[in-house]
A and B are shown apart, each in its own frame.
Chain A
Amino acid sequence: MAIDINKVLLLGGGPTSIGHENELDAAAFERLIALRKTGAQIIYVDDNPFSVTSEEIQPANVYVQQVNFKNVVNIIEKEQPDAIMATTGGLNAMQIAWQLSESGVLSANNVTLLGIKPADLRKVIDNQKLRDLLTEISEKVIASKIVADDSEAMDFVREVGFPVIVKPISASHDTSRFICNNTDELEDALDVSFKRTYIKRCSIEQSIVGYKEIEMVGVRDTNGNKMLITGLEDMDPIGIHSGDSIIFAPTQTLINEEYQALRTATFRIMDALNVTGTCHVQFAQSRTDSNYFVTKVSPFFTRNTLLAAKATGYPLTYVSSFLELGYTFTEIKLPTKYSKYLPFMEPTMDHVLVRIPLWPFRDINDVDQHLNTLMKSVGSTIGIGRTVEEAIIKSMHSSQFSPRDILPSVSKVDDDDVINQLIHPLASRILILMEALRRGFSVDELSELTRIDRFYFYKLNQLLRAQDYVINNPMSPHSVQVGHKYGFGDGMLAELWNVNISEITRMNRNTKQPVTYKEIEPSAGEFIEATNIFYSSYELENESQPFSGKTALVIGRGGNQLGPNSAADYYTTQILTSLKKAGYKTIIMNTNPNAVSLTPQLSDKQYIEPIQLGNILNIINVDQPDVVFLPGNRHYLSKQLKQFTGLNVVVLPPDQKVAVYKEQEATAAVDLFIQDDEIIPVTTLSFFNHNNRLDLHHINDYQEPMSHWETDEQPLIKQAISSVDPTEWQGLVQVLFDQSGSEYTCTGIRPVRITETAFLTKTTGVNWINVLVRKYLGLLDMESLREQLRPAEHKRYSIMTAKFPFKELQSNRQEGTTKQEVGASLSFKNFE
């Protein structure tokens, strides 16, 4: 039976960081849409300035505050919600939920925790309790013990066998871990470890390094009905963090018996924890027998929970919201485009998804770049195809830094380095694997060095063979066919053969090899689900039909790296929303599984396709959009697209290349909006940073307005207006100033950047992205804008502070540049 709830507090995921991108915001957003159906009032807390969720909720119900225990207690006491939902707020929110229950705040205020009962939550938060629970239900966990001498350690090894990992407790250097494969190594390790520990204790545990890492995502309703969304397989073995692993969905190398054993284990764990909603369980699966260990249990939304949903097309967040409210699978009503059976049909896939992580080492290079148990990636891209090779190529294609339509390679690395990197992988992991194959390493050899299943090397080998064939047989229809089968897009073929893409397009038309789009839906073709999520293949049946009426294609940003990525995703969502309001059918293409812009509710059609010229042109050819929006600074792509004269391409914000700087320094700015020859002031900004460095690429923190408006700033605003020429500048424009004493000198003019546009949208009461979209569509109503824009009525400062991933990457850096930002937080301060 559904729980009756009038008011629910939703905990947000906070600023983007290593460990989570926008996926939690995407989940919260979908959850919001679902909760609205129940008529409940929703209170939301989050300080992520790029949150799309907080954009969707009435401002009065949004608390822009850090998601921490103290703030949440205050909100609960003030708002008196009936229930709290923490599962879309990540581990942080779950820990807060646990604290709320332990401290009695929940019971004192009569608040129900949804998704998992406090007593069960404790079993997940407290590692020892989780071990006890798993042991009780006969699920295996890695054996570990604290030992005080060699003989205790030997006893342990006699029980569990080699290999084991030895670690000193309370050691001088906390990173030393020793993997021991035999008694000699163990004795040496104990010798060193006992010397390093201050308290004469070492920990010893069974080593599962080299095991396969398998992840299962399940859902459960209040009646105990359970369903598996899908299994995910990490290509990389245990030893490399799952967040840094290349992941495949569905699992590729498990036999049925192994797969079903893990499914059953997942269900038992969900039952033991009484989960209502989703649960993500991670396993270490032996390569030599059917043994496995449970390594992690997350009864809340994680990056890979959402990846599983993305892979299958199952509306997991939506369904799970109702499950948490106490609905059963059969009571959930989905939007009419889905078949009525969908909520309780176990997803089955007829495609393959590959996720490749993206690392920040290009922007932060003075850190240990080896992939190990510490997560370092800041984003990822996915590729979906009908064949494994196709999916690999598409995701590789999307994960490269170069905007050019080429397949990256690492042919310059010497042999020793190749071997070294096979054993100690770096960010170029998959390229090294391919290079090693190219240099004649045998599959068995590679599998032994890397502990990666032989299967993957066979697939990579086939890719290499296909690539060779394609390179050696330029411009042949069969070559194109082979290329298409293995995921080489037309753009890539054009680069490989050094011809213009239009020649390949023409050839395809002649040889009748058109692209086909397949729907990602969870029934493998049994039902018509109309999810409208597509990926390309080259087969018989095309399932993507153009819309009638005005259509807009928005080209998503792709995988997150450092820099303004979360902001760009937010920006993209607002473009979609604005286009929809303006009467357009909207189409988004993106490869970032964590992007909010791929949320099904935000557009009419989604393509998960590499953001490369060939793929874009194919979509344009099928959907014939009236306008193409290209958010973000992508000079290469916008240049490429603009050579196609038939296309109406809008680049937002305008290319930063038009910026003019007199000096690379500034302390303040005036933002203006220019429509035709009318210039209206938007706001003023103060820049600051901790070391008083004024150079532009170190400006990461903003305050709006600069001062109390009207009084101090009026002369500055006048100066700004007089310095721009409306025939040169249109839209949102930022005039930069440098202060010395009481004097302000204008140091430059530039289009307002993505991050700051998002910031202005959150603080000025005007959705500037909407304004820009309408301006470029010729639909802008200036009168209403003037009406909305009332900077003089501001009563508080808005402050946006950048976040950097230095701590997570174990870097000693203190200050970062705009290119090193991973996210930001937002706060407010009343005028004195």
Chain B
Amino acid sequence: MGKIILDKMAMQRALTRITYEIVEKNKGVEDLVLIGIKTRGIFLANRIADRLQQLENVTIPVGELDITNYRDDIEHDSMSIDVKMSNNKIDFSIEGKRVILVDDVLYTGRTVRAALSAVMDLGRPKSINLAVLVDRGHRELPIRADFVGKNIPSSQKEQIKVYVSEIDDKDAVELIK
């Protein structure tokens, strides 16, 4: 059975802190766009956008990125893939924007690498930052997050599971042994 590392309250606080840090680092919210990485990253991106709305009374665009087709560690039939036809929902231009990529867990870094490629395919943002709820270590690529909710050192045998109430009926981060 899983052990809860972050409960609902802690998860909310982590997102709140990340939101403040985003404003702090970007000296405001000008040109900011959020891109959530499927699946839970999207919900987290939306929650950060809600917070920015409460705080600054601005609506920050939130895009959805499905990077399944970009993962270099997942084999697929390259003939059948059309990058532009993937499940992304980014109906705004990222040209010259400050992009914040949002994901639930940062692990090997391969997801983020794929996300970076996907974003680059869409245009030339001014900057790309990475926000993650959990950084569990074991990086295989030189990637680091700019905003981290919680560092959870974990062994590779362990599993980190993030639940979001939008689809999971609860908010929690669990460590499963």
Contact = CB atoms under 8 A, between A and B. Distances in A.
A touches B (Cβ under 8 A): yes
Interface of A: 117, 119, 132, 135-138, 224, 268, 271-272, 274
Contact of B170 (A135, A138, A272): A272
A268 B7 contact: yes
Interface in B151-174: 169-170
16 contacts: A119-B169, A132-B1, A135-B1, A136-B1, A136-B2, A136-B3, A136-B4, A137-B4, A137-B7, A138-B4, A224-B8, A271-B7, A271-B8, A271-B9, A274-B169, A274-B170
A204 B47 CA distance: 46
Interface in B1-51: 1-4, 7-9
Nearest to A273: B170
Contacts of A135: 1
A268 B172 CA distance: 12
Contacts of B2: 136
A119 B170 CA distance: 12
Nearest to B8: A271
Contacts of B3: 136
B17 to A, nearest CB: 18
Closest 5 CB pairs of A and B: A271-B8, A136-B4, A137-B4, A119-B169, A137-B7
Interface residues of B, number: 9
Taking chain A's interface residues, is the majority helix, strand, or loop, or is none over half, making it mixed? Answer: helix
A609 B115 CA distance: 70
Contacts of B9: 271
A268 B7 CA distance: 9
A210 to B, nearest CB: 31
Contacts of A137: 4, 7
Nearest to B9: A271
Nearest to A135: B1
A132 B3 CA distance: 11
Contacts of B170: 272, 274
B39 to A, nearest CB: 20
A674 to B, nearest CB: 64
A442 to B, nearest CB: 46
Contacts of B7: 137, 268, 271
Given A136-B1, A136-B3, 14 more contacts: A117-B169, A119-B169, A132-B1, A135-B1, A136-B2, A136-B4, A137-B4, A138-B4, A224-B8, A271-B7, A271-B8, A271-B9, A272-B170, A274-B169
Contacts of A132: 1
Nearest to B2: A136
A135 B3 CA distance: 9
Contacts of A272: 170
Contacts of B4: 136-138
Contacts of A224: 8
A224 B3 CA distance: 22
Contacts of B1: 132, 135-136
A805 B92 CA distance: 70
A814 to B, nearest CB: 49
A113 to B, nearest CB: 15
Contacts of A268: 7
A271 B169 CA distance: 11
Nearest to A136: B4
Quick one: which of A119, A136, A224, A268 has the most chain B CB within 10 A?
A136
B143 to A, nearest CB: 32
A117 B169 CA distance: 10
Interface in B58-93: none
Nearest to A271: B8
A165 B133 CA distance: 44
Contacts of A136: 1-4
A405 B7 CA distance: 55
B78 to A, nearest CB: 42
A136 B161 CA distance: 14
Nearest to A138: B4
A597 B74 CA distance: 70
A138 B3 CA distance: 8
A683 B62 CA distance: 73
A279 to B, nearest CB: 15
B111 to A, nearest CB: 27
A266 to B, nearest CB: 14
A99 to B, nearest CB: 21
Contacts of A119: 169
A532 to B, nearest CB: 38
A139 to B, nearest CB: 11
A132 B8 CA distance: 17
A389 to B, nearest CB: 40
